[in-house]
Structure 1
Amino acid sequence: MSGSLNPAALARLLGQWHSGAAPAYRELSDVVRLLILDGRIPLDTALPSERTLSATLGLSRTTVTAAYAALREQGFLSSGQGSRGRTCLPRPSGQAGGLGTASLSGAPGLAVPDGVIDLAYASLPASGEVVHRAFAAALTELPALLPGFGYDALGVPALRDALAARYTAVGVATSPAQILVTSGAQHALNIVLRALAGRQDKVLVEHPTYPNALDAIRARGCRIVPVALPPAPEKRWDMEAVESALAQQRPKLAYVVPDFHNPTGRLMTDTDRRRLVSAAAASGTVLVADETLRELNLDGREAAPLASFSPAVVSIGSLSKSHWAGLRTGWIRASESLIQPFAAARTTMDLGGPVVEQLAAAHLVRSLEEPLPARRAALRKSRDVLLDLLQEHLPLWQPERPDGGLAVWCRLPFPSSTALAVTAPDFGIRLAAGPRFGTGGVFENYLRVPFTLPPDKLETAVLALRSAQDRLDSSPQLRRKLKDSPAVAIA
């Protein structure tokens, strides 16, 4: 279960909720419903009792009772025992059309028809000549390794040396013995989960978060503890909620993306990083920091790596977002005491990564900055173009301007994300619906839109989004077309 919400925390989430435009019970139920749909109140969370919430909000108990009754009638609150129902979503109904509770689950390798613009992936093409040169250099070094067996669960020494030097240079003293090379960041997370978390162990995540991480946590049989991110324009983490969840739930692991968070593009401040590390230490939780987007800093805002605040942090990285996903090279940086268990867990999946790719990756890590200024400049331009296009063609959408990363997280005017994803291929685009980024089908009010395409294709994509939106606006019944929606793989 996701735990309970105390009345003070709910009051803080509600904000200035009572406008007087409708009866108080209706406004209260509407705001709580939107908080559930947005993921700010996790599913299966017990709401405060009627008595305590009425006292905190200064309302009559009759008003709170009526609001809770409305939420139960709408399917957003279970009956529960007494007045402490738990948050939920309405069951899909063939006649109601629902609120898009069907999520588009991951299906790696799903083919995209020719001519369709794929916005389900947030990834870049290879950094051209830089990657080519790295592989050419790797081939010249390969003969020296051919007398060996080619198996190395820890990784090729040259790459581990380069990664250790890179971490040390950015303020996280690291030895090669603290590095385990993996076949990408997803592989790294699976190794960490297999080594440190068992079935039914709790894993805290930001909500929303990276969909493939959610898939890995579920596949391990762990229980997800979602902690909501505040909506824009607050542009921060809700550290009070994080600290409360860590103290109450005491999860085994916490998976976080502090550097240009996927999908919001936010950068966690150093102050919040200190609070996070302190709270995790107090709860006995291992922090797993996904740093795959750290190099895509578009506005020059600085923050120290999470591991610089505590040697207990486990860092995950890869070259997939900064250089090329085709490299399939990632890593884990952790204390030496954890690297050996990680290596042992890794051997249950594979016996080591491809040698040539690791040799090439070592060259790329040693000259990591070479392609990045040009890539960042291109991404800044594409980000600004996308934001301008959205404002022009979809003015009711509310995109959050990201500090970095590869995508814009957009709030939609009504909960139609899955319906848009189902309709979009008719207009030549493929989308990842908002519920893919959360648990239990929430985030129907959101859509992630990557800006990894060149400006001309971005314009084509936004015009297609506008056409899909127009169809939904004119044909609400299309929002019901959910059951047979195709699965979507997301990066």
Structure 2
Amino acid sequence: MSGEVDRFQHGAALAMVLGDWSAGEGPLYRKLAAALARAVDDGALTTGERLPSERELARVLAVSRATVVAAYEELRERGVVDRRQGSGTRITGRRKPPRSDGRVRGGQGTAIVQRLIDGPGSLISLSYAADAGLPEVADAVHAVAAHDLTELLADPGYHPRGLPVLRAAIADHYTATGLPTEPEQVLVTSGAHQALVLLAEVYLRGAVSVVVEAPSWSPCLDIFRQHGVDLVPVGLDADGGDGIDVHALASALATTSPSLLYVMPSFHNPTGRLMSATRRRQVAELAARHEVAVVEDNAYEGSLLSGDVATMPAPLAAYAPASAEVLTVASLKGVWAGLRVGWVRGPVGVVERCARRKAMADLGSPLLDQAVAARLVPRLGELRRSRSAVRREQCAELQRLLRHRLPEWSWRTPDGGSSLWVRLPGDHSADVFAQLALRHGVEVVPGSAMDPNGEHDAYFRIPFLRPPEVLAELVNRLAAAWTELQRHGPYDDLPLRPVV
């Protein structure tokens, strides 16, 4: 049987597809059956795919095996699945094949993106980390309306490479950080995410593999997965040091001949680590030696939690030898994610190829947004200092609450970013805990979704970009879920019994 029809043999992958399946009224088995049927109707589960065993799905969903047995039996009666001894439970071919559900096969990041589409509702969702816009965004909007609008309206409005004044501001910003840049090396995108999509389209046609950090962020990994490449995971320094393990990286580059190396130097998501200047140079030199292009994703670079923004290392590209090909991706997410302005800085030829693909996608990002961004980019140092001060307080408050309510949990205080990377004690699975947390009103993204190696299954990410009262409620809910798990366990060993 192919990997495609067996891709949900591990229950954690299916749990990501099911999402908030246990919400609402009614018996758990009926809610589970309904969620599985929806996944079939949407195309997330396709004909012939084998579902996890009863025991495996019960373990991951933190329910009794009887709940899964009853759900599967209801689906069998409705003609959604076939159940045969020795063959397991499979989706039947008796239903009309649905259109694609838009998910990346083998990827779990699409479940995170789906939460953005659906909205959190009453859940406290940990699937994204973004906070309110800085007041300076409003000031920039007013300035554009007062001084720039007439000139903008006289423009036809199509700039696939980006508004020239914004590209010049970004180039000046990088030059000031120690990375000499011309506007021709800059392409403006609709957030950093689109920049990664465009780069993947340029580099991954016919590609075999991409080297990534482990862990990394699922939606970014899914951008690469959709091109059918293998992800080659390389871990970080075990002691929480400088970033990606250079010895393991050297081995991966030498043995896999990847088309890209994808790293997050400032600050790594989800761990919040800051890659040192020395490590940046080592990574760039290794990539140049093996003729592998590097994509550095610095979407969180304005989120320093200790020290001064002025002491931050320059982008990795600044340490690269002349023969290296480094693409630097960043955005104004730290100012306001709602502005949806990002960019890629790199060799002119690569930027031009990305611009062609962007023109095919949207003909260029909105000019009003870019005009606002052009007034903010020259102030990035000041804005980042302001934002970092607030985030230090939020991070400290979340850590205080966790130490008080959940002292068994462990984490490393991040250098920057927006989240804590928390480890559950013992052999507890974050996949199982995520299901209990969901029933207590918290959506958790477990480490299994962020590490192709499977070495971070006990971890999950907790964003701290929330007001104190929301952080307090979040920790209360997490503590209640943890108490339930400690008291009752994941229920996988309970005897079968009628479900009513």
Residue number in structure 1 paired with 2:221? 214
Given candidates 334, 353, 373, the residue that maps to 1:361 is: 373
Residue number in structure 2 paired with 1:432? 445
Q: What is the CA–CA distance in structure 2 between the aligned matches of 1:209 and 1:202, rounded to whole Å?
A: 16
Letter in 2 for 1:134: A
Query: Per-residue displacement from partner, 1:201-244 (whole Å, max 9, x unpaired)?
Result: 31110010121111100112222111122445556431100111
Given candidates 139, 142, 163, the residue that maps to 1:136 is: 142
Letter in 2 for 1:168: T
Letter in 1 for 2:410: Q
1:95 aligns with 2:55: yes
Residue number in structure 1 paired with 2:392? 380
User: How many residues are treated as equivalent by the alignment?
Assistant: 389
1:245 aligns with 2:249: no
Given candidates 107, 110, 124, the residue that maps to 1:106 is: 110
Q: Is the 8 A contact 1:99 1:444 kept in 2?
A: no
1:399 aligns with 2:411: yes
Residue number in structure 2 paired with 1:299? 306
Q: Is the 8 A contact 1:424 1:430 kept in 2?
A: yes
Q: Is the 8 A contact 2:295 2:326 kept in 1?
A: yes
Letter in 2 for 1:163: I
SS in 1 for 2:457: coil
SS in 1 for 2:303: coil
Q: Is the 8 A contact 2:330 2:343 kept in 1?
A: yes
Q: CA deviation at 1:411?
A: 1.2
Distance 1:270 1:382, change over 3 A: same
Letter in 2 for 1:196: Y
Query: Per-residue displacement from partner, 1:281-330 (whole Å, max 9, x unpaired)?
Result: 1111000000111111111263221010125210001001x111110100
Query: Per-residue displacement from partner, 1:76-110 (whole Å, max 9, x unpaired)?
Result: xxxxxxxxxxxxxxx94322458749985424334
Q: Is the 8 A contact 2:185 2:346 kept in 1?
A: yes
Tell me the C-alpha RMSD between the 2 structures: 2.3
Letter in 2 for 1:462: V
Residue number in structure 2 paired with 1:258? 265
In structure 1, the gaps of 5 or more residues are 1-90, 482-491
Q: CA deviation at 1:374?
A: 2.8
1:147 aligns with 2:154: yes
Residue number in structure 2 paired with 1:418? 431
Given candidates 308, 319, 340, the residue that maps to 1:309 is: 319
SS in 2 for 1:367: helix
Residue number in structure 1 paired with 2:37? none
Letter in 2 for 1:379: R
Bigger shift: 432-441 or 154-163? 432-441
Distance 1:105 1:390, change over 3 A: same
Q: Is the 8 A contact 1:254 1:288 kept in 2?
A: yes
SS in 1 for 2:299: coil
In structure 2, the gaps of 5 or more residues are 1-50, 62-105, 495-500
Q: What is the CA–CA distance in structure 2 between the aligned matches of 1:100 and 1:250, rounded to whole Å?
A: 36
Residue number in structure 2 paired with 1:450? 463
Q: Is the 8 A contact 1:264 1:409 kept in 2?
A: yes
Letter in 1 for 2:347: S
Q: What is the CA–CA distance in structure 1 between the aligned matches of 2:332 and 2:493, rounded to whole Å?
A: 40
Q: What is the CA–CA distance in structure 1 between the aligned matches of 2:491 and 2:275, rounded to whole Å?
A: 39
Q: Is the 8 A contact 1:92 1:98 kept in 2?
A: no
SS in 2 for 1:227: strand
Q: What is the CA–CA distance in structure 2 between the aligned matches of 1:153 and 1:201, rounded to whole Å?
A: 29
Letter in 2 for 1:252: S
Bigger shift: 306-315 or 431-440? 431-440
Q: What is the CA–CA distance in structure 2 between the aligned matches of 1:338 and 1:288, rounded to whole Å?
A: 12
Residue number in structure 2 paired with 1:278? 285
Query: Per-residue displacement from partner, 1:392-412 (whole Å, max 9, x unpaired)?
Result: 222221112100000010111
Q: What is the CA–CA distance in structure 2 between the aligned matches of 1:410 and 1:454, rounded to whole Å?
A: 20
1:162 aligns with 2:169: yes
SS in 1 for 2:295: strand
SS in 1 for 2:386: helix
Residue number in structure 1 paired with 2:193? 186
SS in 2 for 1:95: helix
Q: CA deviation at 1:442?
A: 5.1
Q: TM-score, normalised by structure 2?
A: 0.73
Q: CA deviation at 1:388?
A: 2.2
Q: CA deviation at 1:369?
A: 2.9
Q: What is the CA–CA distance in structure 2 between the aligned matches of 1:180 and 1:105, rounded to whole Å?
A: 25
Letter in 2 for 1:299: S
Letter in 2 for 1:192: L
1:334 aligns with 2:335: no
Q: What is the CA–CA distance in structure 1 between the aligned matches of 2:206 and 2:454, rounded to whole Å?
A: 22
Q: What is the CA–CA distance in structure 2 between the aligned matches of 1:152 and 1:280, rounded to whole Å?
A: 33
1:475 aligns with 2:488: yes
